[in-house]
Structures are given as structure tokens and as C-alpha cells.
Chains A and B, each alone.
Chain A
Amino acid sequence: MTEFLAGFSAVLIRDLRLALRQSADLALVLGFFTIAASLFPFGVGPAPETLARIAPGVIWVLALLSVMLSLDRLFEQDLADGSLEQMVLTPRPLVLTVLAKALAHWLTTGLPLIAITPVIGILLNFPTAGYSTLLIGLALGTPSLSLIGAVGAALTLGARRAGLLIALLVLPLYIPILIFGVTAVDSVLTGFEARAHFLYLAAILVAAIPLAPLAAAAAVRHGVEG
């Protein structure tokens, strides 16, 4: 057991170090999130009530896209320099290695996105009453985005135009998370409880934690065979 943990934490710490030392990648994702959000007041007009109405959906869609844009970082570089092949060959279970990589991805993408969401909320006149629901929803939903995204990233390993292919594979799978995340905020704003929506988001996460790494590990094994 401790052996498994040692391997898991080694991969986690390494990927966190790599992400923090290449912080330009992180800045790009946050920059995309902010700039794309700031386009909406120009596109739909600055009327506060219009912005407030679309704000939950806009923030969630942009969160999905931001996570998706950073997915190629998960495996692509490790494939190119042979690290991924060696990780497959180590005695450590590949499923745990993939889980550690997905966790590192969430900590360096999903978590920073949640942290700057309040700022984006102000930009879009997000209704104050919905903030806690939005943030809880993102906290429950974005880890699933990283996990499901890992499957897409693993399946497209070595493909030309992998970035576009990931979008085609992964975005449809993100739809349930988007729906429950947005409707949670909407229901709170119209006077209902968000609990049921949170439970659905949590259920997706609980299913994704074991299943996504299994699928991604199988795809990685196939990807390094080339």
C-alpha cells in the first residue's frame, strides 16, 4: 500500500513541479478564461440584466473550454520524450499513475479557474446570491472534467491535430456536467434548492474517479505501442 502511495505521490509531485515551472501554460489558460469572458459584454451588449441572465452558462462553458485547451499537456510531452513509455514499463499500476496525472492537472487548471471565477463573475454581473452555488458546482464538476479529459487526451496520443480531436471526443461528454452545473445556479436564483444538482455532479465525479483512469490507462498502453 505504501509502495502504491509512493508511486502516486512521485507522479503527482513531478507533474505539479513541471506545471509550476512552466507557469506560462497556466497563465495562458487563465488568460483565455478571462479574455473570452470579457468578450461577452461586447457581444451581447452591456445591459446588466442580460449579462446576469447568461452569466452562469457563460462561466461554465468557458470553464469547460479552458480545461479542454490544457488537456494536451497531460500526456503529449511525456509521449514525445519517452517518459510515458517508461511509466508504462515501471512496476507501478498505470491506473494510479494516470489518476495522479489527472489530479495534478486539476490542481493546476481547475483549481486556479475556480479561484478567478469571482472576478469573472463581477465582469459579467453575476448575481451575488448564486456565487456559493457556482463555486461549489465548479468544485464538484471540474475534477470530472480533468478525469474525462484524460481519457480523450490518451485516446488521441500521437494523432495529428490532437487538440481538435480531443475537443470532438471530450466536449459531448462534458454536457451532463455543464447541465447540472448551470441548472444548480439557476434553481438557487429562482428560489429552489441546488442539492439535487450537486448530488448529480458528485455522482459523476464518483463514477469518473475509478472509470476514467482505467479507460485512459488502456488508451495510454495502446498509444505507446506505436
Chain B
Amino acid sequence: MARLSATSLTCLRGPRLVFEGLGFSLNAGDALLLTGPNGSGKSSLLRLLAGLLSPLDGQIMANGHPISDDIEGHRATTAYLGHLDPVKSTLTVQENARFWATLLGLPDRVDVALATLNLTDLAALSGRVLSSGQRRRLSLTRLLLSPADLWLLDEPTVGLDTNAVATVEQMVADHRARGGVVILSTHVEFQLPGAKTLDLGDYTPAAFRSEAPV
């Protein structure tokens, strides 16, 4: 049984049909790389899979059951990393990480997660003084602070230097080795050996394909 699959998924955002008839199936340890031009619906797809949006049509199945049947269970096993970094500028790095760790259920792993993303030296600093790359790294600790086996990563490497990108690649590889599933969108080079690729441009409805004004 597939860990996560989608069939004939159709997404409507405002007046625009973003994609239609999209489908895929992923088993434990698989990775899916989302590609496609701006506006082709990479972020929308990830939000659909996280349960933050509802599809206009189609099914998303987790372990053989529609995610809408048990949305709480789906959330407990899913980690979603969006464009925004939920970092509070008046809390320290450590406090920020500890808060999410407690909510996500693994408060004991804060130190390990901060060390993995090379934030240990910054732990006592307030969020205000972090650079955008450091804020991004702090966001990424959430992946290590959650027991989720399904990672949905929307351009996870924005603002990161090459070392940090390598760290994220290693995190993703380790996660897959443990049987985790990763779906990731990116515009830059990202090492994802053996990954399936989904070009969302292929699913843009014909009427919208030529960038025609809506």
C-alpha cells in the first residue's frame, strides 16, 4: 500500500484552475521532486497534501485511506515547511525551537536538532538578530523535532549557503533511509538520488498554458 498517493487531483485558486488530473504514488523511502514554472502550482500541491487546502476534485490517500477521513492523524505524521519562517524575534533560538518541539512532540531533541543545523552557537541569541539563512535553518529544525514520516518541503533551501544545502540534503537522505517520504519543490540544484520527478507544467489546463490573461 502506498504511503501517499494522489489521483486525478485538480486545484482551483481563485478564478484560476492551477492544475488538473495530477496523480502520483509514493512508498516508504521514496522522494518526489516537484518542478515547473512559477505559478504552475508547486506550493498549492504541497498545501493540498498538508491538508491546508482542499482539492476541487480528486483524492489524496495516505496509507490507503483518504486524508480527509483522519485529518488529525495525517497532520500528526506530516511535517510541512512553507515559504514563511515562523521565528519569533523576541524569543531566543533555543526558545523558538523548544516551543515547536513541545507542540510537535519531541522536546528532548532540541539540542540535537540545533547541532545538526549548526545553530548551537546561536542558541542564546534572540530571533531578531538572525540572518535570513539562519532563520531558515531554525525553521528546518522543525523537521527533526517532529515524529512525522512525511516531509513536504516548499523550496527548503532558499537563502541557504552551500554547506547548509548539503546539510539539508543529508537530512533528507537520512530521513529516506529510515523509511520516510519526502516531497520537495526547488528551483536550485538539490541532490535527491533516485527521486521521482513531477513536472507540474504538464498538468496545467490547456486554456491556461500560453500564459493567456485570465
Shortest CB-to-CB span from B84 to chain A, Å, is 3
Which stretch in B23-31, B100-108, B166-174, B204-212 binds the other chain?
Answer: B100-108
- Whether the pair B50, A89 counts as a contact (CB closer than 8 A) is yes
Q: Is the CB of B86 within 8 A of A10?
A: no
Is B104 touching A91 in the complex (CB atoms < 8 A)? yes
Q: Are B90 and A17 in contact (CB under 8 A)?
A: yes
Contact B75 A18 (CB under 8 A): no
- Cβ-based interface call for B161 (8 A): no
**Does chain B have a CB within 8 A of A21?**
yes
**Residues from 59 to 104 in A contacting B, C-beta threshold 8 Å:** 78, 81-83, 85-92
**Contact of B91 with A11 in the complex, beta carbons under 8 Å:** no
Q: CA A22 – CA B88 in complex, angstroms?
A: 11
Chain A CB within 8 A of B82 CB:
yes
A173 on the B face (CB < 8 A): no
Q: With a CB–CB cut-off of 8 A, which chain B residues contact A22?
A: 90
Please, how many residues of chain A have a CB less than 8 angstroms from a CB on the other chain? 24
Contacting pair A10 B91 (CB below 8 A) = no
- When distances are taken between beta carbons in the complex, the residues of chain B under 8 Å from A21 are 90-91
- Residues in A with CB closer than 8 Å to B103 are 7, 10-11, 87, 90, 92
Task: Please determine whether B75 and A89 come into contact, CB atoms closer than 8 angstroms.
Answer: yes
**B86 close to A89 (CB less than 8 A):** no
Q: State which of A10, A18, A225 has its C-beta within 8 Å of the C-beta of B102.
A: A10
Write out the residue numbers on chain B whose beta carbons fall within 8 Å of the beta carbon of A82: 82-86
Closest to A97 in B: B103
Q: Name the prevailing secondary structure of the A interface residues.
A: helix
Q: State in angstroms the CA–CA spacing of A192 and B53 once bound together.
A: 56
Query: Which residues of B in the span 53-85 have a Cβ within 8 Å of any Cβ on A?
Result: 53, 72, 75-76, 78, 80, 82-85
How far is it, in angstroms, between the C-alpha of A81 and the C-alpha of B88 when the chains are bound?
A: 8
> B51 touching A89 by the CB < 8 A rule?
yes
> A17: which B residues are within 8 A, CB to CB?
90-91, 95
Residues of B within 8 Å of A7, CB to CB, are: 102-103
B137 within 8 A of A: no
- Measured CA separation A22–B78 after assembly (Å): 33
Q: Is B42 interfacial (CB 8 A cutoff)?
A: no
B100: which A residues are within 8 A, CB to CB? 86
Within 31-57 of B, Cβ neighbours of A (below 8 Å) are at 50-53
Residues of chain B touching chain A, judged by Cβ–Cβ distance below 8 Å, are: 50-53, 72, 75-76, 78, 80, 82-88, 90-91, 95, 99-100, 102-105, 107, 142
Can you identify 13 A-B contacts, CB atoms within 8 angstroms? Answer: A10-B102, A14-B99, A17-B91, A17-B95, A78-B86, A81-B86, A81-B88, A82-B85, A86-B100, A89-B52, A90-B75, A90-B104, A224-B52
Beyond the given pairs A78-B86, A90-B104, 10 more chain A to chain B contacts, judged by CB atoms under 8 angstroms and listed by A's residue number, are A3-B105, A14-B91, A17-B95, A18-B91, A21-B91, A22-B90, A82-B83, A87-B103, A89-B52, A90-B103
